[in-house]
């Protein structure tokens, strides 16, 4: 049956594939997103956390008043998640502690993606010595242990700005994505529509960023979200290990704080540990569900299964 099965399967998959690519990709995305339950849950989780972390501080203010006398007070009607070691409202800390995490995640992912896409597509398109040089660069960057480097950098510089942290994470994590972008460009540039654009002399900037890169849009989007989750893990890990200075408020610092203050052994302090951990887990879960569904929607081959 081998000889017959494949032509038939191709015939089956051809019809839905053309339908999948409906006229307006954004509208299609929205409608597909609401149709898949897990994708919808992911989207809601991410939106809810964004809303809490970005709008919350505007309502509740960024200053958290503390009353050390009321340290480790258990949850009550007034303070839903109780108070932490210096008598600050845990819920309030959770709300304002999200912004730096998200900021680092998205900024680092943006830096990673921009570097990976531009270097990857140019290296793939032009090839030659530039390509070889860039591949060597990825080898070097990939061998740098991120955590150790951050620890070293943290030791020499004041790593108090999340922006600097994001830049370091971003600058160190592009090589993997760069290589897969390069590989895709290598195959896309052989497509006839690219040659047609070359014939029309529209210039390499247009060809690379106008004809080739948009064809990888879905892949880039998914990898951007994956980069966000990776950056968040890296950042939280650094704070948890105490490698980044404990200044300001964010979920990573809260966990480290709980750890160092021995909250583990204090049943009343449970909400202080669980709340930031839960937020991080929910955010990551939301992002991962989102990518899974995006992958299914944007890659018709997966969808047909």
Partner 1 sequence: MPESASGAAPLIELDGASQVFHVKGKDLPAVSDVSLSVGEGEVLCLVGESGSGKTTTARLAAGLAAPSSGAVRFEGRDLAEMSRAERREYRRAVQYIHQDPYASLNPIRSVRSTLSIPLRRHGLARSGAEVEERVDDLLRTVDLTPPESYREKFPHQLSGGQRQRVSVARGLTLSPRLLIADESTSMLDVSIRVSLLNMLTRLRTEEGVGFIYITHDLALAKYFAWEGRTAVMYLGKIVEVGPTPQVINHPQHPYTRALLDAVPEPDPELARQKKAGGGLLSADIPSLSDLPSGCTFHPRCPLAEDRCSQTVPLLSRAPAAPEQEVACMVVTDPRPAAPAGAAGAGGASP
Partner 2 sequence: MTDTTPRPVGPETDPDAPATTGPAEAPVLSVRDLQVAYRTGKHTRVRALRGVSFDLYPGSSLALVGESGSGKTTLGLALLRLLPTLGEITGGTIGYTGDDGRTREVTAMSSAQLRRWRWSEAAMVFQGAQNAFNPVLTIGQQMAETLRDHSRARISRKEILERSAEALRSVRLEPQRVLGSYPHELSGGMKQRALIATGLLLRPRLLVLDEPTTALDILTQRTVIDLLAELREEYGFAMIFISHDLALAAELADRVVTMYAGKVIETGTTQDIFTAPKHPYTSKLINAVPPVSGDLPELASIPGAPPSLATLPPGCAFAPRCELATDECRAAEPELITLTERPADMTHAAACIHHDQVHHERKVIARA
**Residue 15 sits in the site that holds partner 2 (CB under 8 A):** yes
Between CA 83 and CA 104 the distance in angstroms is 26
Q: How far is CA 260 from CA 39, 234, 237, 244, in A?
A: 37, 20, 15, 14
User: From partner 2, partner 1, none, which one binds at residue 21 (CB under 5 to 8 Å depending on kind)?
Assistant: partner 1
CB of 217 to partner 1, least distance (A): 8
User: From partner 1, partner 2, none, which one binds at residue 264 (CB under 5 to 8 Å depending on kind)?
Assistant: none
CB of 16 to partner 2, least distance (A): 8
Contacts of 234 by beta carbon, 8 Å cutoff, 6+ apart: 108, 146, 147, 150, 169, 173
In the stretch 43-72, what mask flags binding to partner 2 with x, by CB under 8 A? ------------------------------
Which range, of 8-16, 71-79, 137-145, 154-162, touches partner 2 by CB under 8 A? 8-16
CB of 196 to partner 2, least distance (A): 23
**Residue 23 sits in the site that holds partner 2 (CB under 8 A):** no
Contacts of 73 by beta carbon, 8 Å cutoff, 6+ apart: 79, 82, 83, 87, 268
Q: Which is nearer to partner 1, 91 or 207 (CB)?
A: 207
Contacts 24+ apart (CB under 8 A), 194-200: none
CB of 41 to partner 2, least distance (A): 24
Q: Which is nearer to partner 1, 21 or 37 (CB)?
A: 21
CB 141 within 8 A of CB 199: no
Residues lying near partner 1 in the complex (CB under 8 A) are found at: 18, 21, 23, 191-193, 195-203, 206, 210-211, 214-215, 217
CB 175 within 8 A of CB 141: yes
Which range, of 11-19, 96-104, 145-153, 245-253, touches partner 2 by CB under 8 A? 11-19
Q: 56-75: b or e for each residue (b if 16 or more CB lie within 10 Å)?
A: bbeeeeeebebeeeebbbee
Which range, of 4-12, 63-71, 239-247, 265-273, touches partner 2 by CB under 8 A? 4-12
Contacts of 250 by beta carbon, 8 Å cutoff, 6+ apart: 97, 98, 99, 100, 101, 162, 239
């Amino acid at each position: 049956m081998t000889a017959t099965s494949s032509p038939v399967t191709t015939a089956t998959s051809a019809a839905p594939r053309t339908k999948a690519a409906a006229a307006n990709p954004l509208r299609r995305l929205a409608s597909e997103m609401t149709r898949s339950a897990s994708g919808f849950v992911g989207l809601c989780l991410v939106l809810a956390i964004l809303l809490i972390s970005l709008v919350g501080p505007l309502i509740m203010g960024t200053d958290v008043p503390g009353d050390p006398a009321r340290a480790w007070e258990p949850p009550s009607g007034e303070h839903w998640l109780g108070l932490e070691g210096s008598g600050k409202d845990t819920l309030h800390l959770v709300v304002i502690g999200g912004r730096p995490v998200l900021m680092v995640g998205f900024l680092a992912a943006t830096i990673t993606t921009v570097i990976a896409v531009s270097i990857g597509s140019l290296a793939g398109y032009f090839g030659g010595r530039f390509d070889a040089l860039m591949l060597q660069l990825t080898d070097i960057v990939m061998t740098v242990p991120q955590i150790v480097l951050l620890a070293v950098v943290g030791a020499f510089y004041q790593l108090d700005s999340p922006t600097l942290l994001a830049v370091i994470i971003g600058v160190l994590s592009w090589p993997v994505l760069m290589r897969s972008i390069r590989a895709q460009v290598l195959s896309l540039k052989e497509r006839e529509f690219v040659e047609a654009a070359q014939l029309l002399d529209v210039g390499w900037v247009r060809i690379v960023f106008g004809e080739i890169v948009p064809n990888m849009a879905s892949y880039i989007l998914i990898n951007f979200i994956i980069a966000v989750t990776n950056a968040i893990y890296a950042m939280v890990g650094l704070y948890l290990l105490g490698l980044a200075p404990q200044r300001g408020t964010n979920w990573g610092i809260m966990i480290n704080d709980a750890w160092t203050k021995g909250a583990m052994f204090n049943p009343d302090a449970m909400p202080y540990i669980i709340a930031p951990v839960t937020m991080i887990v929910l955010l990551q879960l939301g992002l991962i569900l989102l990518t899974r569904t995006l992958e299914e929607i944007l890659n018709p081959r997966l969808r047909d299964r």
